[in-house]
Amino acid sequence: MADPPFSAADFHKVVHKQVVNAAFETLADAKLDWTLVAPFLDAAHEICRADFQEGARLRLHPARGDGGESEAAAETEEAFLSIAVADREDGETWLSESYWLSDIALADGDPEEVRRLAAALERSLAKVKAWLAEREAASPGGAESPPGQPEQQ
């Protein structure tokens, strides 16, 4: 039986649970009193928070990277969201997860919320298509600038 998709709340709690579990395991082995453990847990929270603020990257993708050639966007089943967090000191990625947008949207099982989300996604898609149309009209066949970047002259 397949695991149910993550809910929006689960998505946000994954990192917290991983850090807490690792801290508990390490500190349990040391047999420290809770008054000595609590500061370590607080420090771990601050480290994770800072890693997210300084080194996290959220992206939407048209195809899952499989280590080989990616599928063409036209052949992709659907878009997915990825999150990657790197350590601030050594740049090593310590969290890398991806989720299908539809799994995120349907996770809570509320049809009204899904309808509102679908409408919001349609508005977002309209903005993306308008941005593409502007770039194509401004420089047919030319290099496109990323959002928020000036056009190359």
Measuring CA to CA, how many Å separate 85 from each of 8, 26, 145? Answer: 18, 22, 25
pLDDT of 129 > 60? The answer is: yes
pLDDT in tens, 72-124: 545 667 888 999 988 887 888 888 888 989 999 999 899 999 999 999 999 99
Q: State the DSSP code for 84.
A: E
pLDDT score of 76: 67
Higher pLDDT, residue 6 or 40: 40
Give the distance between the most distant pair of CA atoms in the chain.
Answer: 67
**Domain spans in the chain, listed from the N-terminal domain onward:** 8-108, 109-139
For CA atoms 40, 43, 45, 48, the dihedral sign is: negative
